[in-house]
Chain A
């Protein structure tokens, strides 16, 4: 199998590291060679963060470069815009339809771009989900990232059972049920 390139982009603190642990566990369960690259440290304090996941028969480079991503999972609109050029032709962009203002916008030195999703839809296959709102309905807005992963799961090479198994192994024990429920919401939302 050719190497598959996935990216998770978002804002530091949104749970990208948890998501990357889940994806790492999955690729092993699938029997692939895998490399993941994460951001720790300063950028995790509310900065723009990106995780690269590459899996296939044999993986050398641990990062995904411009024009190479099969799937980009974006936890926030502006971050989807920032990294969309990493998508390959026919690549899939899954976006949490949510806005977090970066500091230049908060203090009024920059504008949050308007119509991001509409712009992106013109050049890419975009699946949007308001996972933050959906997770609120589940009673825990922190599990929004599992909803986004549920949507992404439809564009990846793993069974629902494999996802479940890895979620069970990865998230804190007392949050297993709500995280699986959140995954289900995403998994059935756009199918």
Chain B
């Protein structure tokens, strides 16, 4: 018997890529897709994998590898697919040489995202077939199926996961790697140069391929019918299948492994055998609207939400009408995510808050500067948007208006899509100030390297893009680098740079505290010296507690010795208890 191991959904996808004979993978980190690339590194002898600066680049790298004749993939989160939408819509016309799969991870319930968009909608618009697994074992096996179908039908595929699939572990049986022979590259501009004359013809051809695939879907082994009691029939796919099995063990189920295009004949036959048909899909009614458009009566979003994740109890209530007598949750104060103790962003935001500045924000840990007590970030929309948002404000209200505004963006996000926005500021004569909070890593997703860290995904040394030099090369005359914890210098610099009538870039350079594995210093509070003024509590450090008598306690298991609190105390009531090593 094959060896069974426990794997995270993302780990199983990486294993599937290895077994499928994938040779090239490119990705930009994004929860919940990040770990796929990290787990792929163990197969680096066989599979080349890299971090790209953004998802558009990653998708295009995968397209290039596919055209060259090998199996290739790109990984991203749902909003990353928006960045990669440009190549996506056109590679759909081009087709593939080696199998080509884009892994796209949706986030129902918004665990770590700015919206709840449904990738299946994008896929339908771009005419890209979609495969969706329901557990780790399927994640690995279906991934191999995706490559086989991609080559058979000359279509790039999307492999759709959700947070719950990506971050759940389950048992997986390991198989050997089967590496298909590299296909020869054959020059054929009719297929690979998408100018109108060629694209017109390809559009006709891919519509035909879509019809063939839809027909084949009726007999695909990954679309399965489980006939049980005929009173209730359910069409479902992905993680919701597990909730259906848990809540409705007697129901008949049509489980879709391929959710675009749909197997119409299979669905019609299944619908005719059951009394009431339910469609259970998280997020948008993608299956439901198509099934209903064929005149098949079904119940879906009338009783099930388009927001958030589903669960077995939700189905018990909605479909079986069960009233579950459950204890109410106790009243407890919320515990939202926060900047870590010792995070350099806290220091930067403390200074911005003190100066009563507004910040156009971006995507990363530093988004957390929006909430009290820091309350500096006013906007967060998408990767790279801080700089262009600030620019729009200036053009709307004039340069005086943005004197108390800055844009804040992380190093990885700046390289992702911030560079173009800064170029736009210089080109269009803006005067705003951009702060690049450079913590030398992609922080929020769990410390991935990028083009300015000097190391590749495979662990090899690489040229580290010089961010200040890059800004200067684009024409920014005022580029200043400051240690994030030097609050006095930072305050002075922000005042000076925002006062200038030119674009300024302030780079606050301090590594992510979680990245620095050295033994950290430790501070302690001296209650006898404490004047109970509350100054040290202003930055909102989670390692600090205000005791009932108004004095402060510093939690020695959490303090990382950044010294910001001691820096703010005018009375010497916080002192170094232990030096770092």
Q: How large is the interface on A (under 10, 10 to 19, 20 to 34, 35 or more residues)?
A: 35 or more
Whether A24 touches B6, Cβ cut-off 8 Å, given contacts A66-B327, A79-B335, A82-B332, is: yes
A60 to B330, CA, bound (A): 28
B512-553 vs A, Cβ < 8 Å mask (1 yes, 0 no)? 000000000000000000000000010011101110000000
Between B164, B167, B339, B372, the greatest number of chain A beta carbons within 10 A of the residue's beta carbon is seen for B167
Decide if A33 is an interface residue (CB 8 Å cutoff): yes
A63/B311 contact (C-beta < 8 A), A40-B167, A85-B330 known: yes
Query: Contact string, B367-390, partner A, CB cutoff 8 A, digits 1/0?
Result: 010011100000000000000000
Q: Chain B's nearest CB lies how many Å from the CB of A107?
A: 5
Bound CA–CA A84/B329 (angstroms): 7
A25 surroundings in chain B (CB, below 8 A): 6
Q: Is A90 interfacial (CB-CB < 8 Å)? A: no
Question: Which residues of chain B from 410 to 435 have any CB-CB distance to chain A below 8 Å in the complex?
Answer: none
Q: Which of A89-109 contact B (CB under 8 A)?
A: 100-109
The answer to whether A65 touches B332, judged by C-beta atoms less than 8 angstroms apart, is no
Cβ of B73 within 8 Å of any chain A Cβ, yes or no, is: no
Closest to A28 in B: B6
Given the contacts A34-B169, A37-B167, A45-B340, A102 and B334 also touching, CB distance less than 8 Å: yes
Let me know if A18 is at the binding interface, CB within 8 A: no
Q: Complex Cα distance A38/B35, Å?
A: 13
CB distance from A24 to the nearest CB of B (A): 5
Q: Which of A63, A84, A110 has the most CB of B within 10 A?
A: A63
Nearest-neighbour CB distance to chain B for A186, whole angstroms, equals 17
B556 proximity list for chain A (CB < 8 A): 141
A108 to B534, CA, bound (A): 11
- Say whether A61 contacts B311, CB under 8 Å: yes
Query: Are A45 and B339 CB-contacts (below 8 A) given A24-B6, A40-B32, A109-B372?
Result: yes
Contact of A106 among B5, B329, B540 (CB under 8 A): B540
Known contacts A45-B444, A61-B312; A67/B333 CB under 8 A: no
Using CB atoms, name the residue of chain B closest to A43.
B337
Given A24-B6, A40-B167, A61-B311, are A102 and B333 neighbors across the interface (CB < 8 Å)?
yes
Q: When the two chains form the complex, which single residue of B135, B327, B444 contacts A35, counting CB atoms closer than 8 Å?
A: B135
Interface assignment of A41: CB less than 8 Å from any CB of chain B: yes
Q: Mark A1-16, 1 if CB is under 8 A from B, else 0.
A: 0000000000111000
B335/A45 in contact, CB under 8 A = no
Q: Which A residues, 20 to 51, have Cβ-Cβ distances below 8 Å to chain B?
A: 20, 24-25, 27-28, 33-48
Of the residues A24, A85, A106, contact of B545 by C-beta under 8 Å: A106
0/1 per residue, A104-122, Cβ < 8 Å to B? 1111111111000001000
Q: Mark B321-362, 1 if CB is under 8 A from A, else 0.
A: 000101111111111111110000000000000000000000
- Residues of B near A65 (CB, < 8 A) are 311-313
Is the CB–CB distance between B333 and A111 below 8 Å?
Answer: yes
Q: Is A34's CB under 8 angstroms from B170's CB?
A: yes
Interface residue range, chain B: 35 or more
Q: A102 vs B331: C-alpha distance in the bound complex, in angstroms?
A: 14
| With contact pairs A35-B135, A66-B313, A85-B330 given, residues A40 and B35 touching in the complex (Cβ less than 8 Å) | yes
Please tell me if the beta carbons of B31 and A35 are within 8 angstroms of each other in the complex: no
The residues of B that contact A13 with a CB separation of less than 8 Å are: 340
How far, in angstroms, from A97 to B376 measured CA to CA in the complex? Answer: 35
Q: Kindly state whether residue B145 has any CB partner on chain A within 8 Å.
A: no
Interface assignment of B168: CB less than 8 Å from any CB of chain A: yes
Task: Please state if B333 and A110 are interface contacts (CB–CB under 8 Å).
Answer: yes
Task: Check if B542 sits within 8 Å of A103, measured CB to CB.
Answer: yes
**Contact in complex: B6, A85 (CB < 8 Å):** no
Taking each of B5, B239, B332, which has the highest tally of chain A beta carbons within 10 Å of its own beta carbon?
Answer: B332
Q: Would you call A81 an interface residue if the criterion is a C-beta within 8 Å of the partner chain's C-beta atoms?
A: yes
> How long is the Cα–Cα vector from A104 to B1 in the complex, in angstroms?
53
Q: Are A39 and B111 closer than 8 Å at their CB atoms?
A: yes
Q: Is the CB of A43 within 8 A of B111?
A: yes
A56 lies within 8 A of chain B by Cβ? no
Residues in B whose Cβ lies below 8 Å from that of A43: 111-112, 337
Which of B5, B111, B242, B338 is packed against the most chain A CB atoms within 10 Å? B338
Cβ of A100: which chain B residues have Cβ within 8 Å of it? 542, 555, 558
Residues of A within 8 A of B (CB): 11-13, 20, 24-25, 27-28, 33-48, 59-63, 65-67, 78-79, 81-82, 84-85, 100-113, 119, 132, 141-142
7 contacts between A and B (CB under 8 A): A28-B171, A37-B169, A39-B111, A39-B167, A40-B35, A60-B243, A110-B334
Nearest 8 interchain pairs by C-beta: A41-B112, A41-B31, A47-B337, A110-B333, A102-B335, A62-B168, A48-B335, A46-B338
Given contacts A28-B5, A78-B333, 9 further A-B contacts (CB under 8 A): A41-B444, A46-B337, A62-B242, A100-B555, A103-B336, A106-B537, A107-B540, A141-B557, A142-B557
